[in-house]
Structure 1
C-alpha cells in the first residue's frame, strides 16, 4: 500500500470537490475510506494498492475531470 498527497490547482467551488472525490473513489485499488479532498488547501490525500494501480492513473482520473495536478508526494505505508 502507498499513501499519497496530490497538490492541485486552486479549487474554486464545492462541486469541484465532489467531482474529484467520485473520480478517485471509482478507481480499483483506491482505499475509498482514505480519500480526503481538501477544498481550502486544494489537496487530495488517499491510500492505494500499488499492485493494482499507480499514481499516474490516479492523476489521470483527476485530470480527466478538468483539474490540473501540480505535484504528488507518494510514500509506502
Structure 2
C-alpha cells in the first residue's frame, strides 16, 4: 500500500530526517520518501499500517498534516 500525506511547515532538509526516522521505525513501513519543498510525504507500507497512524506520527513530530490519501 502507499499513503501520500500533504503536510505543512517542512522548511529544511533536517525535517526529512526527523520524519524518516519517526515513520521508518514503524512496523510494517517499508519506504519513506519526504519532499520538504513540496510538503509531501509518501510512505509504502503493508496493510497493518493506517493513514491515520502515519498522520498521528507526523503530527506528534510537530508537522501539521492537511490531507491523507491511501491507495492499494
- Whether TM-score is above 0.5 comes out as yes
What's the CA shift for 1:10? 3.5
Structure 2 contact 19–61 (Cα < 8 Å) conserved: yes
CA RMSD of superposed structures (Å): 1.0
Q: Which has the larger radius of gyration?
A: 1
1:74 is matched with 70
Task: Tell me the number of residue pairs that the alignment of Structure 1 and Structure 2 aligns.
Answer: 72
Matched, 1:59 2:55: yes
Q: Mind listing any 5+ residue stretches in structure 1 that lack a counterpart?
A: none
TM-score (norm 1): 0.85
Q: 1:37 aligns with which of 34, 38, 43?
A: 34
Matched, 1:49 2:46: yes
The structure where strand makes up a greater share of residues is 2
